[in-house]
Structure 1
Amino acid sequence: MTGLPDWMRPPREEGWFAEDLDRLPEAPRHTELIDGALIFMMSPQRSWHGRLVTTLTTTLMAQVPAGFEVEREMTIRLDARNRPEPDLLLTDLSYDPDRTWYAPEAVKLVVEVVSPESAHRDRIVKLRKYAEAGIPHYWRIENEDGAPAVHVFELEEPAGAYAPAGIFRGTLRRPVPFEISLDLDKLTPPRRS
């Protein structure tokens, strides 16, 4: 492990723990912890992804009822070895400017926008981990020829796993976690030829 900056060396033989993320100011922005391994979002973000997350954030903020907050790019401390950073989350906690993470019981919805480098984590790993942590709603947004397709999942509590609740294109209307109505075609600008 020569040639690595000191901050990249695990602080103990067992590797990284969730609280270690708060002590890594040199780490790249958007660093996650998955199964004790640091995951760096090092590839360049695509414009489609950034625009979609920004527009979805502002659209949900305009619809969110009192008692809920929309947060962008904040980690969730699922357990001692897992602290993923979804693109967006909905919480029932009040705004705290010093907060660096959320507990899963405070998170009502997680949204992941799939990128080529995050596809496996978003489709498989995080789907399972968020369900096991008891987060009631998960949306995975895929890019279908420049248009968003939202794969919606709801937690089936007895099984502790997500059940598919639909794939939405064009329009998304959901009664949970609050009354949501989205024109999906307006979340990203149309492609120009």
Structure 2
Amino acid sequence: MTHTPSLPDWVFPPPEGFVAEDLDRIPDLPAHTELIDGSLVFVGPQRYFHQLVISRLHVELENLMPTEHEVLHRMTVKLAPRQRPEPDLIVLGPDAPIGPDVTCFQAEDVVLAVEVISPDSEERDRKRKPILYAEAGIPHFWLIEEINGKPVVHVYALDPVTKAYVTTGVHYDRLKTPVPFDIDLDLTELCKSRTR
């Protein structure tokens, strides 16, 4: 007789779905679990390109941003009661609460959200997350995809009237923008592997 391991209780959502605070209360929840539309979303293994671009972009933004800002990766943002995604990178504004016990930030703390498209999250990154970030009022959003082995950055700004993002440019080799602060990035440097 085969023994089937029992599933943890949190695998089964409550009738109304999960809420943002559940991510802090559920024991043994896999790392980097997101909450989108009241459902738990688990992250698959990341590709080398994805991790390389995130880590290099993190360093570049740290070097460019004003001292009162902070850039973080793999932190969730509470956008609404049933929405707590985890952007690949966020840039926090000067009034964001920083502390050792913080487990997530509020939408109003974030001035830029960045998503690097992965095969398992492409639909969410391109369609659902931009809508959620815009509705929550995050003023700037970047969507990064790989084209011919290089990062291409789609830059969006929030239209305060429609609460939707409008594109301000698609950047292939260099990204220059004055918002949310002066940024000048050589995008070709984000994906260069070290020679061995």
What range describes the TM-score normalised by the shorter chain of this pair?
Answer: over 0.9
Give the corresponding residue for 2:84: 83
Taking structure 2 as the reference length, what is the TM-score of the superposition? Answer: 0.92
Q: State the distance in 1 between where 2:159 and 2:189 align.
A: 31
| 1:4 match: secondary structure | coil
| 2:119 match: secondary structure | coil
Give the corresponding residue for 1:66: 67
Does residue 100 (structure 1) correspond to residue 115 (structure 2)? The answer is no
Of 171, 174, 181 in structure 1, the residue corresponding to residue 174 of structure 2 is 171
Taking structure 1 as the reference length, what is the TM-score of the superposition? Answer: 0.93
Does residue 139 (structure 1) correspond to residue 142 (structure 2)? The answer is yes
Q: Which moved more, 1:92-101 or 1:80-89?
A: 92-101
Does residue 35 (structure 1) correspond to residue 31 (structure 2)? The answer is no
Contact 1:67/1:94, CA 8 A, preserved across alignment: no
| 1:18 match: secondary structure | coil
Alpha-carbon RMSD across the aligned residues, in angstroms, is 1.6
Residue by residue over 1:47-74, the C-alpha shift from the partner in whole angstroms, topping out at 9 and shown as x without a partner, is: 1100110010011111110211001111
Q: Which moved more, 1:12-21 or 1:112-121?
A: 12-21
Contact 1:78/1:130, CA 8 A, preserved across alignment: yes
Does residue 17 (structure 1) correspond to residue 33 (structure 2)? The answer is no
The one-letter amino acid paired with 1:166 is G
Contact 1:89/1:107, CA 8 A, preserved across alignment: yes
Give the corresponding residue for 1:51: 52
Q: State the distance in 2 between where 1:3 and 1:37 align.
A: 20
Instruction: List alignment gaps of at least 5 residues for structure 2.
Output: none
How many residues align? The count is 189
Give the corresponding residue for 2:9: 6
Of 169, 179, 192 in structure 2, the residue corresponding to residue 189 of structure 1 is 192
Shift of 1:115: 0.5
Instruction: List alignment gaps of at least 5 residues for structure 1.
Output: none
Does residue 158 (structure 1) correspond to residue 161 (structure 2)? The answer is yes
Contact 1:146/1:191, CA 8 A, preserved across alignment: no
Contact 1:131/1:160, CA 8 A, preserved across alignment: yes
Percent identity, aligned pairs only, is 48
Q: State the distance in 2 between where 1:61 and 1:52 align.
A: 14
| 2:108 match: secondary structure | helix
